[in-house]
A and B are shown apart, each in its own frame.
Chain A
Amino acid sequence: MAAAVTQPAVGVAGTALTVRGLERRFGHVRALCGIDFALGEGDSLAVFGPNGAGKTTLLRVVAGLLLPHRGEVLLDGVPPGRADEAHRRRVGLIAHYSLLYDGLTAAENLRFYARLYGLRDRAAVERALEGVGLAGRSGDLVATFSRGMVQRLAIARALLHEPRVVLLDEPFSGLDQRAAAVLRDLLLRLRAERRTMVLVTHNIDEGLELATHVAIQVAGRFAEFGPAAGDLAAYRDRYSEATAGRA
């Protein structure tokens, strides 16, 4: 691996999201081995890597869905255990799966999640549906939606409680051009609102467009981490080099 590994500065003060020495195993397989990074408010990190690099595991640990075997995740410098509910309130996850109920309508799904998050603003659900262009289908069952519509509703669900840290796992996969454009606009808006984002993707162009920082994850480690500045072709070469024989 010829590419230089830039070790991220791992601090707490002034950082929105700090990940320190994260390790997670599944049986004998080490999915994460010593991941460190820190993002400030408004920073967005794009994580690239081949299949099986542990990118989804990283997001699930940061979201609190998986407990790490070693290391910790801090939001605004606070580790979970101490304020678990507050931790979950600050995070939104757009996952591979929609986390929606096919037997409920779009509005019922969002209303259900609004209740779980204790949202008192009744208009929040309507605003969220309008934000992803689904206001006209709010009364339809999710089972009748196309893949793109489900993905848009999943985005509305993840952002309903206005999380400060947004985690996105391959958010563009399966989207048609229109849905991808809606999502891109939404992510740019989140960046403008200074939300902190971690985006896992295979699409280097989109990742570099949306992120302020980029990382290449290989076999559970960050082979590279740094600011997103730089030319695309050079970055592609470094990515190919770092992931050679792993994809």
Chain B
Amino acid sequence: MRDLVRVAWAIAAKDVLLEFRSRTAFASALVFTALVLAILNFARDPTAVSAHSLAPGALWITFTFAGMLGLNRAFGLERENRALDGLLLSPASRTAVYVGKVAANLVFVGAVEAVALPLFALFFNVPVVPVLGPLVLVIALATLGFVAVGTLMSSMAVNTRLAELMLPVLLLPFLVPPVTAAVQLTAHLFAGRPFSAAFGWLRLLLGYDVIFVAACILLFESTIEE
């Protein structure tokens, strides 16, 4: 277990350092976030569609696609100089490699979400602060499931010729349950309805995380070995 944590930490720290130095994916994700939020906001006819009804969908479209930019980079980093071979040659367990990649992706997606949320509140003028606690819980649960599955798919797509195109094709069908649940829960929160009325969606989100995190850990080794 200590070895797993040590290796996962080394991989996550390395990925975060590389992203911090280049800032390519982060900058792209932020530009994308600002652009999507601005377009959705200005394309809306305020007399026909209220900000509250559009806001949950807009938030999760932004999070999902901005996060995907980071997931693409997760194993793209390892394609450079075939560094993935270096990871696979080492005695590090494949589970540790996967956990390290998930941790780095969570940092990346979390950072994008941390910047995107205030932007979203600004553009859509929705009361984020009063529901910040439960909203952060929903975002954390949905992000965990999204990143767990996205990291696995990224490892599958990395050796294909069109990795950047393959990732959304592979990933998006798997994101329907967590994103739907997250949108429903977010809509409940913004509408000021009690959180308890949406426990079904919360259970779906929790169940998805438990099942898919476990499944991805088990499947990772077979997707990465040639």
The verdict on B46 contacting chain A, using a C-beta distance below 8 Å, is no
- A91 lies within 8 A of B10 (CB): no
Indicate whether A113 sits within 8 Å of B90 (C-beta atoms), given known contacts A97-B85, A103-B18: yes
A89 on the B face (CB < 8 A): yes
Question: Is residue B88 contacting chain A, with contact meaning CB distance below 8 A?
Answer: yes
Known A101-B83, A116-B10: A65·B22 in contact at CB below 8 Å: no
Contact in complex: B6, A115 (CB < 8 Å)? yes
Find the A residue at minimum CB distance from B18: A103
Question: Which residues of the other chain, B, contact A112 by a CB distance below 8 angstroms?
Answer: 10, 14
> Is A118 an interface position by the 8 A CB rule?
yes
Q: Is the CB of A157 within 8 A of B81?
A: no
Select from chain B the residue with minimum beta-carbon distance to A89.
Answer: B91
Q: Are A99 and B81 interface neighbours, CB within 8 A? A: yes
Please judge, given known A-B contacts A115-B6, A118-B3, whether A93 and B89 are in contact too, CB under 8 Å.
yes
Task: Give complex CA distance A127, B104 in Å.
Answer: 30
CA distance A157 to B225 in the complex (A): 22
- Per-residue CB proximity of B76-91 to A under 8 Å, as 1/0? 0100111101111111
CB of A38 to closest CB in B, whole Å: 22
Tally chain B residues at the interface, Cβ within 8 Å: 25
Q: CB-CB contacts of A138-153 with B at 8 A, as 1s and 0s?
A: 0000000000000000
A98 to B80, CA, bound (A): 9
Contacts of A117 in B (CB 8 A): 90-91
Tell me the A84-118 residues at the B interface (CB within 8 Å): 85-86, 88-89, 91, 93, 95, 97-104, 108, 112-113, 115-118
Query: Is A229 an interface residue when CB atoms closer than 8 A count as contact?
Result: no
Q: A116 contacts B92, CB within 8 Å?
A: yes
Asked if B93 is an interface residue, CB under 8 A from chain A, the answer is: yes
- B14 pairs with A102, CB closer than 8 A: no
What is the CB-to-nearest-CB distance from B117 to chain A, in angstroms, rounded to a whole number?
28
Q: How far is the CB of B23 from chain A (nearest CB, A)?
A: 11
Q: Are B22 and A103 in contact (CB under 8 A)?
A: yes
Q: Which residues of chain B are within 8 angstroms of A3 by Cβ–Cβ distance? A: none
A103 to B7, CA, bound (A): 19
B99 to chain A, nearest CB (A): 13
Docked complex: B56-84 residues within 8 A CB-CB of A: 77, 80-83
A63-80, CB under 8 A of B: which get 1 and which 0?
A: 111110000000000000
Contact of A115 among B7, B22, B77, B226 (CB under 8 A): B7
Q: For A86, what are the chain B residues with a Cβ–Cβ distance below 8 Å?
A: 91
Q: What number of A residues sit within 8 Å (CB to CB) of B?
A: 28
Q: What is the distance, in angstroms, from B25's C-beta to the closest C-beta of chain A?
A: 12
With a CB–CB cut-off of 8 A, which chain A residues contact B225?
A: 67
For B91-106 the 0/1 string (1 means CB < 8 A from A) is: 1110000000000000
The reply to whether A65 and B10 contact each other, CB–CB distance below 8 Å, is no
Complex CA–CA separation, A113 to B93 (angstroms): 14
Asked if B10 and A115 sit within 8 Å, CB to CB, the answer is yes
A117 CA to B17 CA in the complex, in Å? 20
- Decide: A102 and B90 in contact? CB cutoff 8 A: no
The answer for the CA separation of A95 and B88 in the assembled complex, in Å, is 13
Chain A CB within 8 A of B21 CB: yes
Taking CB as reference atom, which chain B residue is nearest A87? B91
The answer to whether A99 touches B82 (Cβ under 8 A) is yes
A99 touches B22 (CB 8 A): no
Instruction: Encode B34-47 as 1/0 by CB contact (under 8 A) with A.
Output: 00000000000000
Query: CA A67 – CA B80 in complex, angstroms?
Result: 22
> Are B81's CB and A116's CB within 8 A?
no
Whether the pair B18, A64 counts as a contact (CB closer than 8 A) is no
Q: Is the CB of B10 within 8 A of A101?
A: no
Specify which chain B residues have a CB less than 8 angstroms from the CB of A66 in the assembled complex: 226
In the assembled complex, the CB of A56 is this many whole angstroms from the nearest CB of chain B, namely: 11
Identity of the chain B residue whose Cβ is nearest the Cβ of A93 in the assembled complex:
B89
A interface, CB within 8 angstroms of B? 63-67, 85-86, 88-89, 91, 93, 95, 97-104, 108, 112-113, 115-118, 157
Q: Which 7 A-B pairs rank lowest in CB-CB distance, beginning with the nearest?
A: A99-B86, A115-B10, A116-B90, A97-B82, A85-B91, A103-B18, A88-B91
Name B's A-contacting residues (CB within 8 A). Answer: 3, 6-7, 10, 14, 17-18, 21-22, 77, 80-83, 85-93, 225-226
Listed by A's residue number, 9 A-B pairs whose Cβ atoms lie within 8 Å are: A88-B89, A89-B91, A97-B81, A99-B81, A100-B83, A103-B21, A104-B14, A115-B6, A118-B3
